[in-house]
Every structure is written in structure tokens, then in C-alpha cells.
Chains A and B, each alone.
Chain A
Amino acid sequence: MNLSNSLQITSLSDPGMVRSHNEDSVSTDVAHGLVVLADGMGGYNAGEVASGMATTVIVTELQGLLEQFAPHEVHAKSGEKYAAIMLREQVAKANTSIFQAAQSQPQYAGMGTTLVVVLFYDNRMTVAHIGDSRMYRMRGDQFIQVTRDHSLLQEQIDSGMITAEQAKHSQNKNLVTRALGIDATVESEIHEYETEPGDIYLLCSDGLSDMVEDEDIGLTLQTLGSNLNLAAQQLVQMANDNGGRDNISVILVRVREPYPAARGFLAKLAAWFR
């Protein structure tokens, strides 16, 4: 089914104030309810190659699969929803592609990328992430971080070595403990959440979350939520005003109305004509 009427999506990617290239990559497909954000790393232009491969592979593969499988249906053998299975398999596929490119071409050696992929379907979403690119949710006046970074800093916070407040001053912000394309296999963290009309979701690279306080990000979504393009511009501008030391990418998704999956024959037919 086509989610173009139920979701509003906008994305923006900016090299920032210091870097000459943009190693981030974003891709959105509102009809399939699919958004992908990747923050590449590696010398020369390898970071761009890794993040570009990740978004392209995942979007094209999932677009094909979504024409054949209904993400809300449960796979009989594993008891898992197709959404989770599809995400995990395609993330693994992207990992293999990047890893093989890095192995076979010396200029790409060691390249990798962080990743957040979200698939919206049936009034819910499945989120897969690797590394320190994040997803946040604004519901009413509640602004929360949905994903948990795979980073050294997050491990230090979890183990009680430092507090979240101290973490802001840490010099180890840029060390991720998991990334796509670095090893032959990667474990993606996958969770499913319900969505509500009015929710605003933000996907961003660390160029935003390191430069702008969560409080100011929340304030922006709350005050400018009615104009997503402006909100995205404002977020990038705030990161640049604070120094813009890294590439900044944001994807904003607003749930306009419920989007239950078409289950009966008639509903499927109706969905077909929408």
C-alpha cells in the first residue's frame, strides 16, 4: 500500500562548516514508508562510498521485497514479522557489499558506515540501527531518544563510569563500537514500535546530536513541527552555528493519519485503488 498520504517526509544533508565533503547519505521513499540515513567513515572519499552503498542497497532491495511481502505478516517458521526479517537480511547484504568492496579495492580499505533504517507499516515502525546515528521521537511535548548508540561513550555511561552530563565533555565522542562494512558480519539492533498520528520522528547523524543539545532539538521540533522543511533547515543551521564540525544530516517524518495494513480482500482492493 502507498503511504504517501499518511506520512510526510523531508530530508536534508549538509557538509557542515569544516569538512569539504559530505560522507553522510540519506534516502527516503514515502510511498513504501522507508527512510535510511548513513554516516560513512574512511579515508579520501571512501566514507561517501560506504554510506552511499548502504542507502542504495537497502532502499532498492527493500523496494523490491515490499512489492512481494507484507511487512506486518508473520513468518510461519520463525514467528517474526517480515519487516524485521527483511531489514535484517538487507542490512546484512549491504554489509557484505561494503565489506567486499573494502577488501578488493585498496583505496576503500577500512571503510564503513553507521546506519539507521526505519520501515513504517500498519500503524507501527521497525527500526534497525548500527553505530551512533540516532532516531528521536516527538510525541505531544515528550521528546525522547529511541535508539541507543553503539559507542564507547554509551558503554561508559551504561557501566556507570561517567554520567550523561560528563559525557558531553568527553573526548571519545567519535568512537563507535559497531559499524556496517567493517567485518564480514554485523549484528543490527532491531526494534518495533507503535506510532501515533501527530508523532514526529527525527533521524540524524552525530553531526547534529554532538553539536546541538537534545533540549534545543526538541524545542525546534515542537515549535516548527508544522513546517517540516523549515524544522530541518533550522536543525542544520543550529549545528552550523555551533561550529558545524561534522557533516549534518536529518530526516524528519510526521505521521499525519493512521495507516493500518489492508487485511481483508475488500480492503486490499480499496488500497489498490488509492
Chain B
Amino acid sequence: MAKLILSMDGLVLKEIPLAKERTTIGRRATNDIQIDNLAMSGEHAVIVQILNDCFLEDLGSTNGTMVNGQPVKKHFLQHNDVIELGKYRLKYFNEQTGAPATAEFEKTMILRPQAVPKVPMEAGRKAGDTQIGAAATAASRTQTGAAGGAAPVQQAPAARLLGAIQILNGASAGRELELAKPLTTLGKPGVQVAVITRRPHGYFVTHVEGANFPVLNGKALDAQAHALKDHDILEISGTKMEFFIKS
């Protein structure tokens, strides 16, 4: 389950599990998370939970809501996001993120209509609290979009080897080609084509089309993929090239 850690000036005040569909934050005692501070609005913000995802929405507060130093109106919370409300910090933890997903979690499941949280209605109604009508819904949508730009993008660390080939003969001898894409094709379409695939553990060459197979270090390949080693010499439709690891 997702949770928030409330702190002020680096001092942890409490841990709050996000158990409800709507968790409100504000100065008044009616809020689920009450922060009795003059910088807070009576009803400051709300966190809406839809299954495993949490969305933070500012309820038109006087002093605003910041996430990771950026002012937000609506924000799709990601693991380790820091919500700033005046001098208070709420750090968001969603334990499923980062942890290796179990097979059970990845399984496709059916969601029956009655069990579906009313996504569009909810979004429209919340916008309606502060603004009115269809225009409000539209405004809320653009804010969601804007928040998207600010959301941290988690990319798998790309600490892969980068390889390249250098052409050894013919008109373009000396030309170098970096193999940065997952697939790079070589040769003449319709005559002979081979592909070099970039995989987590190295580069592989495979025959794609044509009667002749690529020649690797003087030996013709078969239909299988072959691993490429540093300084291998590859010959495809008369063009010789050297494969090497750049970094």
C-alpha cells in the first residue's frame, strides 16, 4: 500500500498510510491529514487513489502545492515524490514501484464494470469544486497534461556497450557507423541484407534476405544469429567492415 511520511525541517512527524480512495489534506480538523499551520488552506489538497496509482490535486489553495520543487495543480504521484506544503514535506512511497514485480502482479485481470472507480466522473466532479461546467473539466485536463511534463521519467539505466562498424573497402571506405539503435540493417535490399541487433549482453549479426549469407572472419554464416566480438571482420554483399566496441 502507498504511504506518506510527514516531516518538517527534516524531522519526521508521522507516517500516513493511504488507505482511502480520497485522502484530504488541509488546516481544518475535517481533513484526513490535518496540518494546523497558517500557510495551509482550510481544504488544501486531495490525494485520489485508483487501485495502485495515486493522484495529487491542489484544491485551489492560497499558497499552492509543490511537488519536487514544481508548483502543481494536478499530479500523478511517483515513488519518492516530495510534496511541499509551506514548511511541511510529505514524501510519497509506493512500495510496489522499484520492487521486482511478482508474476502474480503482472497477470492480466478482468475489471468488472461495477468495480471500476468512476474515472471520468471523478475527474470532472473534482474540477467542478473549484470551477464550473464543462470548461472546468477541460481545464483540469490540460493541467493533467502539464503535470505530465514535470513527472520524472523513469528510464532503465542504459549502461550498455556501444559498438560501431567501420567500412574497409569500396567507395565509402573509412566511414564509421555507430550501432546505437536496437537494429541496424546492412546490405542492399533485394540482393543481400543482414541485421545487427543490439542486445543487453552484446551485438549479434543475423541474415535477413538474399541467397548469399554474411561472411564473418572468412566463414559464411548460417540462418542463426551470431555473436559479434571486438574487431570481427564482416562481409556483406562485397562490402567488408570491421566491428569494434567503442565504449
Q: A residues bordering B, Cβ < 8 Å?
A: 18-19, 39, 41, 112, 114, 131-132, 152, 155-156, 158-163, 165-166, 169-172, 174-179, 182, 206, 216, 219-220, 223-224, 226-227, 230, 234, 237-238, 241-242, 245-246
Contacts and interface: CB of A to CB of B under 8 A. Distances in A.
Contacts of A230: 195, 206, 208
Nearest to B140: A160
A166 B103 contact: no
B141 A160 contact: yes
Interface in B31-88: 50-53, 55, 76, 78
B209 A227 contact: yes
B17 interface: no
B183 A223 contact: yes
Contact of A227 (B52, B55, B107, B208): B208
Contacts of B97: 171
B182 A238 contact: yes
B182 A216 contact: yes
B133 to A, nearest CB: 16
A179 B110 contact: yes
Interface of B: 50-53, 55, 76, 78, 94, 96-97, 101, 103, 105-113, 116, 119-120, 123, 140-141, 144-145, 148, 151, 153-154, 156, 181-185, 189, 193, 195, 197, 199-200, 206, 208-209
Contacts of B105: 174
Nearest to A165: B148
A65 B156 CA distance: 49
Chain B interface SS verdict (over half): mixed
Given A155-B119, A161-B123, A219 B182 contact: yes
A18 B106 contact: yes
> B110, B140, B181 — which one has the most chain A CB atoms within 10 A of its CB?
B110
Contacts of B94: 171
13 contacts: A39-B108, A41-B107, A41-B108, A155-B116, A165-B151, A172-B52, A174-B107, A175-B110, A224-B208, A227-B209, A242-B156, A246-B106, A246-B107
A29 B190 CA distance: 28
A161 B97 CA distance: 20
A158 B78 CA distance: 20
A21 B78 CA distance: 32
Contacts of A241: 199-200
Nearest to B200: A241
Contacts of B113: 177
B189 A174 contact: no
B64 to A, nearest CB: 21
Nearest to B204: A237
> B105, B119, B209 — which one has the most chain A CB atoms within 10 A of its CB?
B119
B108 A132 contact: yes
Given A160-B123, A160-B141, A174-B106, A166 B151 contact: yes
Contacts of B55: 161
Given A169-B78, A227-B208, A161 B119 contact: yes
Given A177-B113, A224-B183, A163 B148 contact: yes
A245 B200 CA distance: 16
Contact of A152 (B51, B140, B145, B189): B51
Contacts of B197: 234, 237
Given A160-B145, A172-B53, A219 B181 contact: yes
A21 to B, nearest CB: 11
A234 B181 CA distance: 14
B106 A234 contact: no
A162 to B, nearest CB: 5
B186 to A, nearest CB: 10
Contacts of B116: 152, 155, 177
Nearest to B154: A169
